[in-house]
Structure 1
Amino acid sequence: MTAATPQETAPTDRRVSTRVGSISESATLAVDAKAKALKAAGRPVIGFGAGEPDFPTPDYIVEAAVEACRDPKNHRYTPAGGLPELKAAIAAKTLRDSGYEVEASQVLITNGGKQAIYEAFAAILDPGDEVIVPAPYWTTYPESIRLAGGVPVPVVADETTGYRVSVEQLEAARTDRTKVVLFVSPSNPTGAVYSREQVEAVGRWAVEHGLWVLTDEIYEHLVYGDAEFHSLPVVVPELRDKCVVVNGVAKTYAMTGWRVGWVIGPKDVVKAATNLQSHATSNVSNVAQRAALAAVSGELDAVAAMREAFDRRRKTIVRMLNEIEGVECPVPEGAFYAYPSVKGLLGKEIRGKRPATSVELAELILEEVEVAVVPGEAFGTPGYLRLSYALGDEDLAEGVGRMQKLLAEAR
């Protein structure tokens, strides 16, 4: 008998599966964790990494959770797809906020937006199906697509177009294997917001080619100036039978830690995703669901106050970043991120070092002035940095001020 070669035996020796072992760590969470660890060690680090509001969850939502804790019915299993009353409330909220009319049976409650995205892709993708992903993209999108067996196909937009991709770019990326196009407006990481005409153009193109669309509307209420949010299946109703909407309470109600998101889509897709969730996690925490019910059923006063603060910080961070020679920062119209190009700084000497990539530049900024930012490599576009302005005004000014002083030394 011939002995097996090392190549033949290697698969049985692998401790972590290829599928899971190939997943990259969330770069945004990694930067945030490093910043918090340094802070805990007494370092005066200012973190621009995490995309979460610095405001507390509104009191009425917290009180709803407190009451839910006391009610024994919340101490038991509930339907895997979500509390019926929360699903109905989300259907009502969706009609109120975006004009999209859906039934409660088209809603699945998930453990945050990330689970919503993964389960949506898992429900509609078969191995080898391609998903067109506008870049810069949020770090989780391509990983969720790969885990679901799909193939992410990035389409890159830059600062010259305000980080908006065109239909011509989407068409150039389309192949016989394309099944889904991802659409995100307002965008993380760029803050780009598509106009109604641009939304319609993307939707009409998807309908023409029989494509599915997954649209992430988590930042629907965070738009500024003259920009407006437009829900794709409302603008292009013909798309609704092949459109999946993901959303959640995290950004609108400062509830990132409560972990409640949802999927809205055709009933067969939602049923399939619900079956998946019934084996993966079962129901979302009942207490968190009760808090979300209070949130989506209530007024939008809290988000209006947050939006005012974000708008003020948006103007400050863009102005300060554009004061740095070698940095170009378009004005974001939504979400709470600035995405400046730093290509003009790469290769220049800064305190004895010559960062060649935005990863190296981000490391230099953290080491030298203790400011944590996320490099553009995490979002599919090297040469950029993402800074969240969902932090206090004083910290924002101090943090960017430190960057200004450091990067002014570039030669």
Structure 2
Amino acid sequence: MSGPLDGIRVVDLSAMLSGPWAADILGDQGADVIKVEAPGTGDHVRALRNQVEGLASMFVNVNRSKRSLTLNLKDAEGVRVLKQLVAEADVLVQNFRPGVVERLGIGYDDLAEVNPGLVYLSISGFGEHGPYAKKRVYDPIVQALSGLTTIQAGSDEERPRLIRTVLPDKLTAVTGAQAICAALVARGRTGKGQHIRLSMLDTVMAFLWASDMNAYTFVNQPVAPEKAASFIDLIYETADGYITVSTMSNREWEAFCRAADREDLLVDERFDTPSKREENVDERLSEIQKVLLQKPGSEWIEILERHDVPCAPALRRFELLENPQVIASGSIIETEHPVAGPIRQARVAARFEGTATEPPRGAPRLGEHSREVLGQLGLSAHEIERLVEAGVVGAEHGEPTPEPDDADVVQTRGA
């Protein structure tokens, strides 16, 4: 794989979403990512619905650009093989519950002994200490505990509501990938690896504090339960669908009033200053909604764009595929997966001019690359088959590896 992380090897022990997508981001940017899974079962996400040829769509989307190695880490030989792999790696990602990797003998201290330069990311729900540290955790649990559900409700007095996407998981993945790259930069200066601890709770709270927790910033300033600024959001109904319109500045508000032929609103005492527009937000947004019901959405988009008012259609998911901006940007790509056939995915978001990335490689079948990876570590075909027969390595999707001629022996990285 080409890209800015070409030459970086990542061992991905994680499952579900946060860890796998963090590693996936690195793989999309050129890293060699080896996903280590339990023989026979693999990542739970493999079993989710919407499958083609045994590959679940979610697995395909968060595990592309990886190779799959099945390894029984409850077996001492499996741990030995993992340490061989880690000795030649740069990064390890794991999201076991706190304490599990230490019991298995693959915690940071164990693996730093074989590779002092290893960047080791541990993802947890709540951190490694405290009353919640060992609780089972999923995305809704973190949304609730972090205050995110109350923010989504719009007020401390309203019923808390979940965001209808797994934001804590996804945000933790992005934060994890960024933290790994920062640690790799530090290693470039010091030559030393390090242990990164990242919790979903800390990630979401840092995300929220940038704007939604402003009232709690100054310690000596008293706070009261949050009241909603408005119970009307910025999605408006038109004569034939929904659009969004945003008038943050004076110039945009004035432009909207002229575009809507409602210049009377410019002299309305409720809206004639920014502070009054904020104070009377429900009334202002109600006036906008009344206006927008009078014409179809496409007509409003054309009118508002002529007046340079920020606006966009509120697309349904299937409409996104044909949106002219999405098409012009090449934001969605289609590739051919060797098993699942043609697939459609979002492209790698960051576009690197100096170290361009290749199209993402398709997600692997369970154990698809076990023999390939082990062979690259220098294990003989006989040793690999012995590990398969012992159940240390899974037998999925692999033919016995022929013994190479001496001239064909694959050298381990760094040899």
TM value normalised by structure 1 = 0.23
Higher helix share: 1
Larger radius of gyration: 2
